[in-house]
Structure 1
Amino acid sequence: MDVLDLSRWQFGITTVYHFLFVPLTIGLSVVVAGLQTAWYRTKKPEYLRLTKFWGRLFLINFAMGVVTGIVQEFQFGMNWSDYSRFVGDVFGAPLAMEGLVAFFLESTFLGLWIFGWDKLSPRLHLATIWLAAIGTSLSAYFILAANSWMQHPVGYRVVNGRAELTDIWAVLTNSTTLVTFPHVLFGAFLTAGAFVLGISAWFLLRGRDVAVFRTSARLALVVGLVAGIGASFSGHWQAQIMTEQQPMKMAAAEALWEDETSAGFSLFAIGDVENGRNHVNVQIPYGLSFLATNTFDGKVQGINDIQARYEAAYGPGDYRPVVGLAYWSFRLMIGFGGLSALLALAGLWLTRRGRLPSGRWCYRIAIAGIALPFVANSLGWIFTEMGRQPWTVFGLMSTASAVSPGVDVTEVAITLVGFTLVYAVLAFIEVRLLLKYIKLGAEERSEPESPVPALSY
């Protein structure tokens, strides 16, 4: 491997790892705020117990997300200095806003929430967790605005080989951002729903705090179903924008080699990338045209035709992503996300009218289902970033041109191994802390009111 390959592996590993924490943090912040709102309005003790229980797990996950996220920005300067030099004026603006506005908002009010249980009025204390949740979502928005600029550059001009910001409002209201943000939010709520459901099922399986965790399980099922429906609609809109802005990514996702009207949605394909064709392709008739254009007879561009157009526009080169990776990551993302939503629907049916399933297998499936949205989210980001290749900034800068010229293979290999080992240690700590506070349950204890865990590891 050369410096480019190792740098891409390092950024991919650290990014996917970091994004394991992000959607759960976003989703849990709203779940905790909702439970505290229910307690504020009803004064039912079970809502207070659930607020503190899920609040502890939220805080652990939030801390891990902050730690792993710091590495992301350092890599821009270490391994991707030519990229940073080219896009710094544009890319830096939403990232600065994320730090100065969103992260300040969420961290400040989260601190007030942690230490304000006995010091603030119930209404004011409730406001702090909602403001922290809003800050968490805003943080995601600004980061997505930066990433969306890489997918679809707007509001800039190139001067002396560098992109300069000309319209920050265009960057913040990029059409790519506007469809990506709700999709990420729904994915986050789907993740939180599966997480809350799975842990609630663990308690119900053991007969611990049944009345309390019956409530959180039912809430998780509603959140999961609504989020799954929302993710499907927002994903449909995102596919249409992607077809318009990055037709090669959509063509690779469907292994569609030639321009086609009334194109079918591929369920399973065996392709010949070298010769640009499929040997086997099982399809849903008209499905791709509807997904990409909202019409059953819409035209969708194919890989071979787009390659010829890109060569004419950008010069000789291979403008295809890894087709097999794009194809299967797209399918598995939809499959795992859809399966999580179907489990939520089945759970709502099984728990109707306050009943609980009698079969232990139901609870075991719910516990195993925690993994489904995490896998779907990771595959979604792999598809989003790998499907854009060979571009770092679409149409402006290739990935090969973005790598740091002064870094050698040994240096990148050392940091790659180092980060991987550190992240393995952090994963162990995260799991150990979560298991510790899950096992404690939501029982009333004589400890202080603050839900902050004693991080004793």
Structure 2
Amino acid sequence: MNELILARIQFASTTIFHFIFVPLSIGLAFLIAIMQTMYVVKKKEIYKDMTKFWGKFFLINFAVGVVTGIIQEFQFGMNWSDYSRFVGDVFGAPLAIEALLAFFIESTFIGLWIFGWDKLPKKLHLACIWLVSLGTAISALWILAANSFMQNPVGYAIHNGRAEMNDFLAVITNQKLLVAFPHTIFASLATASFLILGISAWNLLKKRNVELFKLSMTVPLIVGLISTLGIAFTGHSQATYLIKAQPMKMAAAEGLWNDTGDPAPWTVVAKINTDEKKTTSRIEIPGLLSYLSYGKFSGAVQGMNTLQDQYVKDYGKGDYIPPVKTTFWSFRIMVVAGGLMILLTLIGLIMKWRGKIEVHSAYLKWMIAAIFFPYIANTFGWIMSEFGRQPWVVYGLMTTKDGISPNVSSGSVLFSLIAFSLIYTLLAIAMVYLFIRVIKHGPYEKTNDEITTSDPFHVGGIKDAIK
């Protein structure tokens, strides 16, 4: 494989791995803040126990996520120097603000929250975790602002062959950012909700700390249903945006080679032949694609052949059709995972309302497996978004092949790919080990050599957990 393919594989693998941790940190911080608020308001120790127990997962996830993020940033200089040189004046500003503002808020108030139990006033201590939650959301905002420029470049001027920012307000009010940010926040809340639900379900099946884990399921079931419905609605907003801003991505996601009729049907499944540029054996829902695209059950959608001819006129000779099969099936995997999450949270709330959710073992087993559903949806949603943009690294301005570092050999990229993959594998093993250790110990159980304090956030408790 050449250096371009290897660099793309490396960036995809590191980004996917990093994005395992980002939404979980955002979502867990918010849910933990709700739990601690309930403790402060209701003054019941069980809410404090819940907050501390789920806080352990947040701290482990946050620590590993920081490491994966640092490794990811190295790639811009190593493998994508031409891209960095071209877009650095625009791309660098949101990343710098994210590091200086958002990460500063997160790291500062995480420390106060960890060591402030029974030392800070309750309301002040509660404010710390809410500020952590705010910091994670702000962090996502600035990262998405940078990514949105790649999807929809605005607020810039080309000077000496480089994109230079000339309108900061346009960058942070990018239409792509406005539809992507709420979608990401809802996805993060769903990710954390299903982790808590799955771990709680496992404990209920084992009949361990039943009262605490029954109570732990209440907030994530409510937040999970709201967030999964939010994902669906904000996903619709992204579709109506794509049909105007990136119609080729929309056409690829539907396997449309030729223009549709009016109204346009949505394809559930199909057989795609990229060599002959045909899509056959379609199972369709009449009019649904028109609704997804325009918010009404009327309107035709352009196909890839028409758009290819248009792009050649606009950008010059080249193949502007993205990987169709990958884009098409990634979108459907994401939709199926999202639909299952809506269904499971709705069923869970009905069971919770009727009481005795702990006796429904089949549902609890489903919820354990459903821990992975948000990760599946997040990953394939990202794949659909990034693959569907190809061949562009900055839409309409720079192709991916033009962004690669000119002096990096395939051997050096392969070496760093193997090295990063090894590091990520070790990090994944460590994280899973620590998660399992916390789950087995539970909110109350202690190891034999644990110090006498009952505070799981005590320095000695953290050291014990890492041993």
2:438 is the counterpart of 1:456: no
Aligned AA for 2:455? E
Deviation at 1:450, TM superposition (A): 5.4
Aligned residue number for residue 340 of structure 1: 341
Tell me what 1:257 maps to: 257
Return the letter of the residue paired with 1:115: F
Residue 149 of structure 1 contacts residue 393 of structure 1 at CA under 8 Å; is this kept in 2? Answer: yes
- Which is worse superposed, 349-358 or 388-397? 349-358
Contact 1:117–1:450 (CA<8 Å) still a contact in 2?
no
Q: Does structure 1 residue 48 correspond to structure 2 residue 48?
A: yes
Q: What corresponds to 1:293 in structure 2?
A: 294
Structure 1 segment 37-436 matched on structure 2, within 5 A: 37-260=37-260, 261-436=262-437
- Deviation string, structure 1 residues 355-393 (Cα, Å, up to 9, x no partner): 225242221111111011111100011111111000000
Give the Cα–Cα distance (whole angstroms) in 2 for the partners of residues 414 and 358 of structure 1: 52
Q: Which amino acid letter does the alignment assign opposite residue 25 of structure 1?
A: S
Give the Cα–Cα distance (whole angstroms) in 2 for the partners of residues 157 and 102 of structure 1: 27
* 1:158-177 per-position Cα deviation (integer Å, ceiling 9, x unaligned): 01110000011110110100
SS of the counterpart of 2:272?
A: strand
Counterpart CA distance in 2 for 1:448 and 1:80 is: 49
Task: For residues 128-167 of structure 1, give each alpha carbon's deviation from its aligned partner in whole angstroms, at most 9, with x where no partner exists.
Answer: 0000100001000000000000000000000111000001
What RMSD, in angstroms, separates the aligned Cα atoms of the two structures?
A: 1.2
Shift of 1:279: 2.1
Q: Is the 8 A contact 1:118 1:449 kept in 2?
A: no
Indicate whether 1:447 and 2:453 are aligned: yes
- The residue type paired with residue 424 of structure 2 is Y
1:233 is displaced (CA, Å) by 0.4
SS at match of 1:102: helix
How high is the sequence identity, in percent, across the aligned residues?
51
Distance 2:214 2:457 in 1: 21
Question: TM (normalized to structure 2)?
Answer: 0.96
C-alpha contact (below 8 Å) 1:114/1:450 kept by paired residues: no
Whether contact under 8 Å (1:190, 1:341) holds in the other structure is no
Tell me the SS of whatever aligns to 1:256.
Answer: coil
Q: Distance in 1 between matches of 2:92 and 2:454?
A: 41
Which deviations, in whole Å up to 9, do the C-alpha atoms of 1:26-80 show, x marking residues without a partner?
Answer: 1000010000000000011110000000001100001111000111211000000
> 2:218 & 2:209 partners in 1: Cα distance?
14
**d(CA) in 1 for partners of 2:92, 2:107:** 21
Amino acid at match of 1:149: F
Match of 1:22 in 2: 22
Larger mean CA deviation between 346-355 and 395-404 belongs to 346-355
How far apart, CA to CA, are the structure 2 residues paired with 1:145 and 1:384?
Answer: 15
SS of the residue aligned with 1:351?
helix
Query: How far did residue 282 of structure 1 move?
Result: 1.1
Gaps of 5+ in 1: none
Alpha-carbon distance in 2 for matches of 1:322, 1:435: 38
- Distance between the aligned counterparts of 1:290 and 1:308, measured in 2? 26
Shift of 1:440: 1.2
| Cα distance in 2 between the residues matched to 1:425 and 1:150 | 31
User: How far 1:242 sits from its partner (Å)?
Assistant: 1.2
How many angstroms does 1:256 deviate by? 1.1
3-state SS of 1:21 partner:
helix
The separation in 1 between residues aligned to 2:203 and 2:400, in whole angstroms, is: 48
Q: Partner letter of residue 331 of structure 2?
A: F
User: For residues 324-365 of structure 1, what are the alpha-carbon distances to aligned partners after superposition, in whole Å with 9 as ceiling and x for unaligned?
Assistant: 000000011111111112111111122223322524222111
- C-alpha distance after superposition, 1:251-310 (max 9, x if no partner): 000011122231111101112222322122111001111001112111211111000000
Q: Which amino acid aligns with 1:163?
A: A
Deviates further, 368-377 or 346-355: 346-355
CA positional deviation for 1:444: 7.2
- Residue type of the alignment partner of 1:451: F
Q: 1:401 to 1:350 in 2, by over 3 A?
A: same
Q: How far apart in 2 are the matches of 1:192 and 1:169?
A: 32
| Alpha-carbon offset, residue 223 of structure 1 | 1.4
Structure 2: distance between partners of 1:417 and 1:284: 44
8 Å CA contact 2:205–2:358 kept in 1: the answer is: no
CA distance in structure 1 between the partners assigned to 2:197 and 2:95 by the alignment = 33
CA contact (8 A) 1:154 1:174 kept: yes
Q: For residues 62 and 227 of structure 1, what CA distance do their matches in structure 2 show?
A: 21
- Distance in 1, matches of 2:329 and 2:16, equals 17
2: CA distance, partners of 1:341 / 1:451: 34
User: What letter is aligned with 1:447?
Assistant: T
Is the CA contact (8 Å cut-off) linking 2:204 and 2:358 kept in structure 1? no
Number of residue-to-residue matches in the alignment = 457
Q: Tell me if structure 2 keeps the 8 A contact 1:49–1:444.
A: no
Give 3-state SS (helix, strand or coil) of 1:271's partner: strand
Partner of 2:449: none
Give the letter for the 1:132 counterpart. V
Question: Which 10-residue stretch deviates more, 156-165 or 441-450?
Answer: 441-450
Question: What letter is aligned with 1:449?
Answer: D
SS across alignment from 1:327: helix
Residues 242 and 250, structure 2, Cα contact 8 Å, conserved in 1:
yes
Moved more, 135-144 or 289-298: 289-298
Q: Is residue 201–residue 366 contact of structure 1 (8 Å, CA) maintained in 2?
A: yes
Q: Secondary structure at the match of 1:266?
A: strand
C-alpha deviation, 1:220, in angstroms: 1.7
1:251 is paired with a residue whose SS is helix
Q: Which amino acid aligns with 2:88?
A: G
The yes-or-no answer on 1:5 pairing with 2:5 is: yes
Aligned partner of 2:420: which letter? F
Q: Which moved more, 1:55-64 or 1:212-221?
A: 212-221
Asked whether the 8 Å contact 2:239–2:250 carries over to 1, the reply is yes
Does the CA-based 8 Å contact 1:311-1:317 persist in structure 2?
Answer: yes
Is the Cα–Cα contact under 8 Å of residues 434 and 466 in structure 2 kept in the other structure? no
Contact 2:214–2:358 (8 Å) recurs in 1: no
TM-score between the two structures when normalised by the length of structure 1: 0.98
Structure 1 residues 432 and 266, CA, compared in 2 at 3 Å: closer, same or farther? same
> How far is the alpha carbon of 1:448 from its aligned partner?
5.2
